[in-house]
């Protein structure tokens, strides 16, 4: 609603456009390919988000580095392209980490995410 007050389109137009799928991965990959040198790596990092409530999907026990303890909540796993020659990094993707799967561990999720975006 606030965008319709300041912008030139109606609230309905903004809502309909935001409901369309958007390929954020390709959007974030584009400047990394154009601006980075050929000597680059993919780096990953996880962040803990405290969450309470019964309607949040996939809460589990995750490591909170600030508290140095495992706490119940959510975790996001983000990937970045690191340009080794220019000492820069560009964000690629961020996704919610799910709890430990029955047939593997969380490391499988992290590896799958990195290999998929390679």
pLDDT top residue among 39 and 104: 39
Residue at 111 is within a domain:
yes
The answer to whether residue 64 scores a pLDDT higher than 80 is yes
Number of domains in the chain: 1
Residue at 1 is within a domain:
no
* Three-class DSSP category at 115: helix
Split at pLDDT 50, 70, 90, the class of 100 is low
Contact 97, 77 (CB under 8 A): yes
Split at pLDDT 50, 70, 90, the class of 116 is confident
Residue at 11 is within a domain:
no
C-alpha–C-alpha distance, residues 52 and 116, integer Å = 31
Give 46-80 as a DSSP string: EEEEE---SSSSS-EEEEETTTTEEEEEEEEEEEE
Residue at 60 is within a domain:
yes
What are the residues facing 43 on neighbouring strands? 80
103 is in which domain, residue-wise?
24-117
pLDDT of the residue at 117: 73
Residue at 80 is within a domain:
yes
Residue at 12 is within a domain:
no
Residue at 4 is within a domain:
no
Residue at 98 is within a domain:
yes
C-alpha Rg value of the chain to the nearest Å: 18
């Amino acid at each position: 609603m606030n965008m319709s007050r300041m912008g030139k389109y109606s609230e309905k137009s903004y809502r309909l456009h935001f409901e369309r799928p958007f390929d954020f991965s390709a959007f974030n990959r584009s400047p990394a390919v154009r601006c980075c040198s050929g000597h680059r790596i993919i780096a990953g990092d996880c962040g803990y988000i405290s969450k309470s409530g019964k309607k949040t999907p996939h809460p589990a026990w995750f490591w909170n580095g600030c508290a140095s303890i495992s706490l119940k909540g959510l975790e996001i796993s983000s990937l970045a392209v690191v340009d080794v020659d220019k000492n820069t990094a560009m964000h690629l993707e961020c996704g919610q980490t799910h709890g430990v799967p029955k047939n593997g561990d969380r490391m499988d999720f992290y590896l799958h995410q990195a290999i998929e975006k390679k």
